[in-house]
Each structure stands twice: as C-alpha cells, then as structure tokens.
Amino acid sequence: MTDQLSSGAGDDVRELALAAMSKTPPAPPQLLHTPVRRRSPWRAITGRTLLYVLLIALAAVYIYPFLIQISTSFKTEPEAALNPLSLIPQTWSVAAYEKLFQRSDFPLWFANSTFVTLCVTVGRVFFVSLAGYALARLHFRGRAFVFALIVAVMAVPTVVLLIPKFLVINQLGMYNSYTGMILPLLADAGSVFIMKNFFESVPVSVEEQARVDGAGSFRIFWSVVLPMARPALITIIILSFQGSWNELAHFIISASDPALTTLTKGVASLARGAGLGSGTQYPLKLAAAIIMTIPVAIVFFVFQRRIMNSSAGAVKE
Amino acid sequence: MSALAAPPAGATAPKPSPSRRRPGSGIRRGEGAAGWLFTLPVILILAVFLLVPVLMALWVSFSDWNGRGSPLSSGVHFVGLQNYAATTTGGGLAERNFGLALRNNAWYVVFVVPLQTALSLFLAVLVSRQVLRGRGFFRTAYYFPSVTSSVAITVLWLFLFSASGVVNAIIAWFGGNGPNWFSDPRGLWAVVAGWFGMTTPPAWLTQGDFLGVSPWEWIQGPSIAMSAFILMAVFTTSGTFMLVFMAAIQNIDPALAEAGMIDGANGWQRFWRITLPQLRPALFTVLTLGLIGCWQVFDAIYTGTQGDPGKTTLTPAYLSYQASFNDNQWGIGAAIAFILFVIIIVFTLFQRWVLRDRPVSQRRIRAYQPKAARQNGATR
C-alpha cells in the first residue's frame, strides 16, 4: 500500500538534466481500450467541444499579447493609446523602427549582444563538453571532488552573486570590458551536468577501439566522441544562446560604458524612461522588444522539437 | 602524473577514482593529466567568478567599504555585524526598506508559486489528452512566452497594463474602471476591504512594527503594481513548468488509469487519486524551482518600476543592487544578498521536508479500503 501511494521524490535539478537527455521522442498517444462504461455520444461531443473551446481560449490569452505588440509597433503614438486593442493599425507607421535604427544606439546594442552571445555560446559549448567528458569518462584523482564542486555551485542562486561578481570583476580590472562580460558566463555548472550525463550514455567500446589504436585523450574526445554528441550539443547551444541573449543582471554589473551596452540593458533603459524624446513612446519600446525577441524566437522555432522534448532546455530563471 | 594532477587548495585527500585499474598504468596512462586539463577551464572560471566572489562579498558584508578603491585595501575596516544589524534592526531606513522588500516578495511568492504550479499542471493535463488535434500548436502557444527575455516581456507588460492599455480597455468592455496598474501602491486586500466600506485600518493594526513595517502594511497584500508582476510571472513560467509536467505524464503507465476506470472511478477521482500521486517528483521539481525563482525577482523590477510605486515592488534582490550601486552602501547590499541566500536555502529545505516521503497515515489508508474491510478494522 505504502509503496503504491508514495513514489520517490527525486533530486530536483538532476531530474531535469536527466529528462533533457531522454532523446527518445514522446511515446505516441496510446488509445485506451474501449471504456467499460460507455458515455452517451452527445455527452462525449459536448465534452470534446468544451475542451477545444478551453484550449483555444487559453491559447488566445497566451498569443494575443504578442500580436498586439506587433501591431502596436506599427501604430502612431496617439493611436496606440486611443485604440490599444485593435490588431490592425488605422494608419501604418514605421516611425518607431526608423527612430530606433537611425536615431538611437540600437544597432550598437544589437551588435554587442550578437558578439557576446556568439562568444559565450562557442566558448561554453567547448569548455563544458570538455569537462563533461572528463567527468564521465576519464579516470583521475579528485574527480569526485570536482563533480561535487560543480553540483554545489548549481545550488547557488544567481541573483545573490550580483554584487560578489562585480567585486571580483572590478578587482581583476575587467570592469567595462568584453572580457568581464564574457568570461564569467563561459562556464555553466548545469550544462556540465547535462554533458556528463550524455557522455555516460555513450557506449565505451567506440573509444576503447581508438585508444587501442593509440589516440590520445583529446584526439578521442575531439574526433570520436564529440561528433556523436550532437543532440546534447544542440541542447547546450540552445540553453547558452537563450541564456546569454536574455541575460540582463550580469551585464549591468560588469559594464557601465555606453559602448558596451547590450540589447537587454539598452531596451531596459528605454523602458526606464530614458527614451528618445517625450511621451510614452510605446510603439518605439515595443518595436525594440520585438526585435530583441526575433533571434530567440528563430532558435525556438528551428529547434522546437528538441526544446519541447527536453524539459531542461526550457528552464529559465 | 604531472603537477596538474595536484588537487586545488582546500581539497583534502581526494577520494580514489572509481576505476578498476590504477590510474597511470597501461593504456590509461596520461588520463590523470588529461582529466584535470579538461576540467581546468571550468573549474577556474567557477572558482574565480563564484567561489572567490562569495568570500569577497562575505568580507564586504562585514566591512565599511563605500565603493571607492579596492575592498581589500587598508582603508577598509572590519565592522562586525553592523551591516546586518542595520538591515534587520535599529529602526533606520535600511531596516524599513528591507522589511518592505521582504513583505513584497513574500506576497509575490504566496501568489505566484501556487498559481504557476496549478496553471502549468492544468495546461499539461489538457495538452496530454490521449486524442487531441493540434497538440503541437497548443504546446507551442503556451510555451512561447517562456523563451522571450524578461526585459522584452516587461516592456510588453508595461504597455498592456498602462492606464490606457489593453487590460483596462478589456475591463472597460465589462463596464469596469481599471486601475493605473503600475502606479497604484494600494494593497490588494486593502482594496478588497475598501469595497466593504473599510477605508481606515483598525488602530490595533497600525501599532508596533516588524522590520519597520506595521502589521497593517504586512497583511494588506501585494500592491496593484505587484499584482501585475505576479500575473506576468505566471504568464511566463507556466509554459516551462508545463513541459516538466508533460514529461512526467508521458511516463505514467496508462494501465493504472484503466484499472481505476474499471473500478468505477470518474475522471475527477482518477486525476486526484491516480495521476497526481504519480506526479509527485515533477510537482517537487516545479515547486522547488518556482520557489527559488520567485525569491530572485530582479530583471522585471529593474526594467519596470525600480521599486515604485511607494516601494511596493521593491524586492530583496533589487534592494541589494540599489543599496550597493546607487547608494554606495556596499556592506548593506552584500548583507542583504547573504540574508536572501539564507532565505532561499531555508525555504527549499522546508519544502523538501513538507514534501518528503512519509508513511501513509492510518486515516488515509482507511479511505482507500473497501467499506467491509474498514468496518472490520474499526471493530478490531
């Protein structure tokens, strides 16, 4: 009795990481055997209709705000305030976009975000898979200790580290530099965890063959194991791209130079009232928010399948 | 093994690696060095940007550093628990700010965690129906808000909830008069009390204080402005957690639900008695992550309101930033960060304890037994 009612509560983060590794696509929906008690067909039909009405209503709540966002960015400012609900602007206007690209630092913010995100993603994928491989496969003294350290680090909430990180970045003379913005983001304990789990699921026999042939550890990692790790690498790329593109707090504490402003920081400054000119400027702000959403939206739609099948790929703070 | 294989400072007697063969022999020669070399970049970065910062911030929280020069220079003095004292006692502004931030965030947690858990579970159950057309579309629709950045969503929210915004336009359809959301410091329960004619709090609720905040201020709930942030958090996180629940639902053996059906359980009973108990690990994950995330609200406050109106959207995370970077009270900022750290740990442990596996109570067992057996048990 007891066993049936209480299923084991697993470790939170570990669970998610493991879930990420389940490469198997979701099982096709299984049909139940014929129900024992047949419901009348009318009740069944009403039930189904209600279900779809509910699903569609909920979907509307989730999607409508984004549609309004797009249409408002093409409205004039008075219309945005007067007619916030309409999906089609009465007078189309690209003034918001023009202003954004021609009379603000927006292009610079976009370039900074792109540069930082690319560096972080490339670097993180390399370092994290290297460490994950070592922890999964290489036998060395202190491995258990290193692993324990990484698990411990995963438990520290990021917001608590804001001031501490600034102190070190400042002390090391990296404040207001790309180094200070990029370097601390290169290692991510959670990603190491995911890679380690993945490498443990790869059969050892392939590597041993290469080892017998005399290949060194790095050679085995680079030309034998890494090409096999594509699914896990894509997970890490998505996580790291989304994470660094959407990162705000770290960039606030690592730089104050306007030349190093990223999109998140720049758009936040627009929202905070340091806008361009007077008024509420909602079309302008919403346009900026749309453009900064486009890259993550593209990554999302391209890798949608993978994100949906691995719950960890979805977790964002 | 080379010098690289030496354990870093602080490591005492590393445990032997679980290899069957001794490292350094035969075909596995050189693995020790490679192992450390491969993990070194990650270890260095984590140590320099996580471990060292925590130690340094711990020092700052016990010092009078004002942001000039290095906190390690000789002009900075050890002041003991002074910063912690100023934050939690003493009746000053620092104490009141911290009390308000704590109150705001506590109400935020009280609303967001149950709402996001219930909504994501509800969405997951709907989308996991066995026969469903357009499953992919619905899943994508509910999940999409989760991938966008918190800054972009906050900007959208500022527009939706502005005085002449979308939400108020919808409220106007129904003949209502929406508030000016992000400028309204009134507490939610205070507004509700106002509907029943209670405009001034009873005197006994305004006397005394905890952390510089009176009982009336503690209990009046999240402000209207904070409520908008609460809705935003539920909107953006429900999709993420829906995926966690969906993965768990997929792993449930449908035979159990069928058995329940044969025994005559209706859909409602099957959900509560069969599906939900099996979702416990997922529920645990969602509650833990939700709780940890909710105590870290920063991006939305930084982008949206900076703690206004009337400090009702101030959160400990934002207060810690503000105290340090804007007011140059680095000791207090660091102290708040550490108190926040302790709060998060305590809440996680508490919740682990509440949701722990425990033997099923007699009362609970009886509820599951057929009537005849129950009567037998009663006479025994």
For B202-256, what is each residue's pLDDT tens digit? 777 777 777 767 777 788 889 889 999 999 999 999 988 998 888 888 888 888 8
pLDDT of residue B1: 34
Contact partners, residue B226, CB within 8 Å, separation at least 6? B104, B107, B108, B312, B313
- Tell which CATH architecture fits domain B92-326: Orthogonal Bundle (1.10)
Tell me which residue of A243, A264, A267, A141 sits closest to A194, measured CA to CA. Answer: A243
Q: Please indicate whether, in this complex, the C-beta atoms of B45 and A187 are within 8 angstroms of each other.
A: yes
Which amino acid would we find at residue A8? Answer: G
- Residue A215's identity, in one-letter code, is A
CA dihedral A81, A85, A86, A87 (to 10 degrees): 110
**Cβ-defined contact of B144 to A66 (cutoff 8 Å):** yes
Treating both helix axes as pointing N-terminal to C-terminal, what angle do B224-250 and B280-294 enclose, rounded to 10 degrees? 150
CA dihedral A296, A297, A300, A301 (to 10 degrees): -150
Query: Are A62 and B145 a contacting pair at CB < 8 A?
Result: yes
Residues A293 and A69: beta-carbon distance below 8 Å: no
Inspect the interface and report whether the beta carbons of B137 and A59 lie closer than 8 Å.
yes
For residue B118, what pLDDT is reported? Answer: 94
Residue B12 has pLDDT above 60, yes or no: no
- The count of residues in chain B is 380
Q: Do residues A16 and A315 lie in contact, with contact meaning Cβ atoms separated by under 8 Å?
A: yes
Which pLDDT score, from 0 to 100, does residue B236 have? 92
Provide the ipTM. 0.79
Tell me: pLDDT of B365 over 80: no
Per CB-CB distance under 8 Å, the chain A contacts of B140 are 304, 308
Q: Report d(CA A79, CA B173) in Å as an integer.
A: 18
| Chain B residues in contact with A8 (beta carbon < 8 A) | 281, 357
Residue of chain A with shortest Cα separation from B127: A55
The residue ranges of chain A whose pLDDT is under 70 are 1-40, 274-279, 306-317
Cβ partners under 8 Å of residue A103, min gap 6: A276
Whether the predicted pLDDT of B13 surpasses 80 = no
What are the percentages of helix, strand and coil residues in chain B, rounded to 5? 65, 0, 30
Residue in B50, B56, B148 nearest the CB of A167:
B56
Among partner residues A12, A161, A289, which is closest to B284 by beta-carbon distance?
A: A12
Distance set, CA B356 to CA A3, A8, B368 (Å): 14, 9, 21
d(CA A166, CA B121): 38
Alpha carbon of A289 to those of A110, A248, A272, A293: distances in Å? Answer: 12, 14, 13, 6
What residues of chain B lie within 8 A of the CB of A163, using their CB?
57, 60, 320-321, 324, 330, 333-334, 337
CB contact under 8 A, A314 and B34: no
**Domain A102-314 in this protein, CATH class:** mainly alpha
Task: Please name which of B77, B66, B67 lies closest in space to residue A170, comparing C-alpha atoms.
Answer: B67
Contact B320 A150 (CB under 8 A): no
For residue A10, what pLDDT is reported? 31
Query: Considering only CA atoms, which of A267, A122, A263 is closest in space to residue A182?
Result: A122
Nearest CA in chain B to A151: B46
Q: Do A149 and B138 touch (CB under 8 A)?
A: no
B21: three-class secondary structure by DSSP? coil
Calculate how close chain B gets to A287, using CA atoms only, in Å: 10
- The partner residue sitting opposite B151, judged by closest CB among A160, A211, A268, is A268
Cβ atoms A112, A261 nearer than 8 A: yes
User: Does the distance separating the beta carbons of B364 and A5 come in below 8 Å?
Assistant: yes
* pLDDT score for B27: 57
A25 interaction partners in chain B (CB closer than 8 Å): none
A164 close to B53: Cβ distance less than 8 angstroms? yes
Let me know: does B238 contact B142? Beta carbons within 8 Å: yes
Q: Does the pLDDT value for residue B23 go beyond 50?
A: no
> What's the pTM value of the predicted model, to 2 decimals?
0.80
B262 → closest Cβ in A36, A156, A263: A36
User: B129-157 pLDDT, tens per residue?
Assistant: 777 788 888 888 898 898 889 999 999 99
Please state whether the peptide bond connecting residue B309 to the residue before it is cis, i.e. omega within 30 degrees of 0: yes
Query: Which residues of B fall within a CB distance of 8 Å from A18?
Result: none
Q: Is the Cβ pair B304, A271 closer than 8 Å? A: yes
Angle at B232 between CA B231 and CA B238, to 5 degrees: 85
pLDDT recorded at residue B369: 67
Asked if B281 lies within 8 A of A187 by C-beta distance, the reply is: no
CA triple A284-A288-A293, angle to 5 deg: 145
Residues B162-173: pLDDT tens digits? 888 888 888 888
Domain ranges, ordered by start, for chain A? 40-93, 102-314
Q: Which tokens in the block code for residue A65?
A: 């705000």
pLDDT at position B305 is 87
